[in-house]
């Protein structure tokens, strides 16, 4: 019977997690000191909808209460228990166990920061008399008569937004990095994005991380919106491209 895979754990942790997840029909299949948390699939059971993704995330979060978890990509299905052992567990058992050991006591915290559009534009235009004059002129004239001025104004504002993003993102990472073992930075998804990053944090430093995040958010109140997600399994660090025990903000 096909098996849907959620994540990998150390064998002892995974067995405890599976016991706690019996209502979700999750079982632990073990090999070489590690195990995969899976559920059996009947015909038509797998639907890649939003609720399925949420269920996948919820299962990983519940398992995380019992020890380190290496999340498996959403939608991963293997033919049966034999295929799972042969294709997923056996080829990397030793490396996977070492990766899980390295994640002991660590959690991922995702930080997303976005500029509030109106205060951002008001600050940029109001802080430069020439831009303010250009903006005032554009408002008073027909669009066709100020076409190229609008383009130049937009380009100038975009450049200023990027300069501010570089400064604000650097300051935020600099404030949080001392509290993290590693950092994974992602490219901004839109022009108002300040930061989209994940921090790998020791669980005994989570309160300090939250406090520093709150301090920074208060200082940027009204101009930047923040979203903090976690603690959660180390999705962004599952590949192990980071050096454990180096609290210097190493980028993964």
Strands 34-40 and 3-10 turn out to be antiparallel
Question: What pLDDT, on a 0 to 100 scale, did the predictor assign at position 131?
Answer: 67
Q: Is the dihedral of CA 59, 64, 66, 68 positive or negative?
A: positive
- Kindly give the parts of the chain with pLDDT less than 70: 43-50, 125-129, 131-132, 134-150, 153, 240-252
Residue 237 has φ and ψ, to the nearest 5°, of -125, 15
Q: What share of the chain is helix, strand, coil (3-state, %, to 5)?
A: 50, 25, 25
pLDDT digits (tens, 9 = 90+) for 220-247: 888 899 999 999 999 888 776 554 443 3
Question: What pLDDT, on a 0 to 100 scale, did the predictor assign at position 137?
Answer: 64
Q: Mean pLDDT, the chain, as a whole number?
A: 83
């Amino acid at each position: 019977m096909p098996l849907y895979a959620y994540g990998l754990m150390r064998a002892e942790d995974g067995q405890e997690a599976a016991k706690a997840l019996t209502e979700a029909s999750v079982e632990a299949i073990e090999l070489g000191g590690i195990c995969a948390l899976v559920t059996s699939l009947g015909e038509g059971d797998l639907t890649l909808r939003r609720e399925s993704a949420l269920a996948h995330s919820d299962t990983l979060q519940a398992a995380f209460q019992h020890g380190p978890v290496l999340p498996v990509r959403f939608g991963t299905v293997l033919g049966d228990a034999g295929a799972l052992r042969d294709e997923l567990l056996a080829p990397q058992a030793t490396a996977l166990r070492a990766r899980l050991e390295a994640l002991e006591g660590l959690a991922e915290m995702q930080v997303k920061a976005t500029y509030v559009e109106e205060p951002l534009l008001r600050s940029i235009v109001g802080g430069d008399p020439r831009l303010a004059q250009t903006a005032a002129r554009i408002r008073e004239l027909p669009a066709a008569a100020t076409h190229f001025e609008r383009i130049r104004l937009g380009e100038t504002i975009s450049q200023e937004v990027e300069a501010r993003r570089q400064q604000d993102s650097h300051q935020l990472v600099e404030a949080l990095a001392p509290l993290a073992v590693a950092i994974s930075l992602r490219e901004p998804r839109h022009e108002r994005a300040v930061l989209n990053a994940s921090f790998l944090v020791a669980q005994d430093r989570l309160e300090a991380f939250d406090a520093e995040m709150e301090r920074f958010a208060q200082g940027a109140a009204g101009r930047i919106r923040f979203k903090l997600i976690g603690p959660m399994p180390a999705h962004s660090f599952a590949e192990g491209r980071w050096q454990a025990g180096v609290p210097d903000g190493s980028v993964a």
